[in-house]
Amino acid sequence: MNHRRIRKNNRWVKLRPPRLRRLRFRRGTRQAGQPLWVYNNGQLEQERIVAERWMRLIYENPVGRASMLWWVKRKAVSRLYGLYCRTPLSARKIPKFIMENEIDMTGCEPSYKNFAQFFSREKADISFPKEPKVLGSPCEGLVSINTNIAPEKLIAAKGADFSLAELFGDEELAEIYRGGTMVRIRLTPTNYHRMHFFDDGVVTGAKFLKGDLYSVNPLAVDRVRRLYCRNKRALVKFESNNFGEVAMVEVGATFVGSIVHCFDIGQRVNRGQQASFFLPGGSLVLLFFKAGAFVPDKDILTQTDAGYETKSLIGHPLGQ
């Protein structure tokens, strides 16, 4: 290959084109167009993906990924979408969104001024297990559980792993959870997007870590390396009465520009009390328990091992 020559420090040198930055994507284990299946009430059902055509174009199509993924993950795009969702104009799509996705609005307000209000809606009928040792799901979503975790290599999807130290931004804290349990709850855009404390206890610390805003749908997790560690997220340290020291990580995603906390550091909280909420988009909550502090539900473990997420309502028992 011929290269132009320029004079530098009284010497003629070849001007070479800059190296392309290595792409942080992988081929993925899931075939393009393959449906996603989730476990619900004892049987498998196909997951309904919001904006599925766009999701598959961006994450499964090489041309779409090369041309669109860069701007989709940008915070500015999520901010613009957030501004639109706070306008009265966005309220027009609420009825259709509820009908198409069969959203249960029991315990919610009958109407909202805009889509952002609807998305971060509150429910009046939240309940958690009365038995102190039973862990109720802190939010509504799709659950998977991994036990005996190794901080240096946690599984996000088949063939896709990440480091707990990078996720936390704290190597010492990550080592505490060696051999423990990770509970992953993926919230789709149709879920109730508020998180509640699963136990009485004290919030001992919290910090935000900057990052991008990739989707947390398996279509993206399967192809974007270290996605959980690259997205914007919040780490909350919680000293619970019945499960010991728990690390809670709230991961933002595409169109989720804000994670809003409803507590103060050092505050004592009660089971079922509201902890935080997300603004429009999909999102993810990760819970980390020390070894021996939590025994997961066997059925959820079986489905996780088989590669399926399990649908769960807020407060639904996940183990003890």
Q: How far apart are CA 174 and CA 154, in angstroms?
A: 11
Tell me, what DSSP letter sits at residue 184?
A: E
End-to-end Cα, the chain, rounded Å? 65
Answer whether 222's CB lies under 8 Å from 28's CB: yes
In this prediction, residue 27 carries a pLDDT of 46
3-state SS of 75-137? HHHHHHHHHHHCCHHHHHHHHHHHHHCCCCCCCCCCCCCCHHHHHCCCCCCCCCCCCCCCEEC
3-state secondary structure of 6: strand
In this prediction, residue 232 carries a pLDDT of 86
Token pair of 220 as six digits: 């993206």
Spell out a b/e string for 215-230, using b for 16 or more CB atoms within 10 Å of the CB, else e.
bbbbbbbbbbeebbbb
pTM exceeds cut of 0.85? no
For residue 18, give every residue at least 6 positions away whose Cβ sits within 8 Å of its Cβ, in sequence order, or none: none
For residue 130, give every residue at least 6 positions away whose Cβ sits within 8 Å of its Cβ, in sequence order, or none: none
One-letter amino acid of 54: W
Tell me, what DSSP letter sits at residue 151?
A: T
Nearest one of 226, 228, 232 to 212, comparing CA atoms? 232
Answer whether 223's CB lies under 8 Å from 59's CB: yes
| Count of residues in the chain | 320
Nearest one of 307, 292, 9, 287 to 148, comparing CA atoms? 292
Domain ranges of the chain: 125-319
Q: How far apart are CA 111 and CA 122, in angstroms?
A: 12
Task: Walk along the chain (320 residues) in steps of 10 and give the mean pLDDT of each run.
Answer: 50 47 46 73 82 65 61 64 87 92 90 91 91 96 94 73 91 96 92 94 95 74 79 94 96 72 95 88 86 96 92 95
Instruction: Indicate the fold that domain 125-319 takes in CATH.
Output: Glucose Permease (Domain IIA) (2.70.70)
Q: Which residues pair with 261 in a beta bridge?
A: 276
- Sign of the Cα pseudo-torsion (212, 151, 310, 307, in order): positive
Nearest one of 123, 252, 288, 117 to 196, comparing CA atoms? 123
Cα 287 to its chain centre, rounded Å, is: 11
